[in-house]
Structure 1
Amino acid sequence: MTWLRSLVLACALLLSGVAVAVSPDEMLADPVLEQRARNISAELRCLVCQNQSIDDSDADLARDLRLLVRERLVAGDSDEDVRQFVVDRYGEYVLLNPRVSAQTLLLWGAAPALLVVGLVALWLAGRRRSAAEVGSDGLTAEERAALDELK
């Protein structure tokens, strides 16, 4: 009997669609406009939630943004105009996939550049160390003399 419950639960999970927070009273009557609104909403970050789109969020601010997107579409704005309107209002952070710009290139390029600088510094330090006279104990002559003075 438990296997039957498990089977029913598995079927229910497989057949259930992705849960979205868009309530029926927010939806537009025109299916084409509604699909455009859904596409835009999926690309916009909820400013309250952690990396969740406004389409998936139950937050009040996400609802306000979904309504704003639909208002702009009904007013005749293009998809890019709607995105730009929201970005102008809330900044680039509202985009789940930020646009490529000098700032984003700097952000993405800084980590690999710092890694390369660190590896070069380690390599130079290793070469400098190997260039010095190193005894069998791994100490240079200066380090051996300093250690002998401490004894």
Structure 2
Amino acid sequence: MKRIKLLYRFLIFINVFFSILLVVQLVLLIGPDLIYWKQYEDRTFGTFQSLIEGVRLVLLLIGLFKVQHGVRAIIDEGFYNVTSQVKFKKSGFFLIIYVLISFAYNILVMKELELNIFIVNFIQYYFILLVGIGLYIFSDFIKNGGKLKQENDLTI
């Protein structure tokens, strides 16, 4: 249980960091671009590029918050519970959506990126996709384990 609590604290740290990063991005990039309609001729999405990156960050942040809530449910209610199963499934869904949008975004802004950054982005998105699918599958393990535990408790 110590490691799960350590994971929970680490997720809190990561989520606070990403929340601060989102606020900074909103204040310094998205807000001024939309208020002053700053034109970027060299960017694919122009004024809305920072907004699209902010939306991607929000999807990642939601997925990580769901993981944090799922881990908290494990700490509070034990390993096999419906709350953590639902939270992990939702977090996997949000991470998969984040990756699909990021893949498309990376392809659309390909001409603005160097080749090594383009490839590294795809590798990162691939690993986040694996984590999202893993969380989705992990939620099914928790669901099936909960059913087995319930049947075992009824048998005794």
Q: TM-score, normalised by structure 2?
A: 0.31
Q: Does 1 or 2 have the higher relative contact order (CA < 8 Å, sep 6+)?
A: 2
Q: TM-score, normalised by structure 1?
A: 0.32
The structure with the greater share of residues assigned to helix is: 2
| Bigger Rg, which one | 1
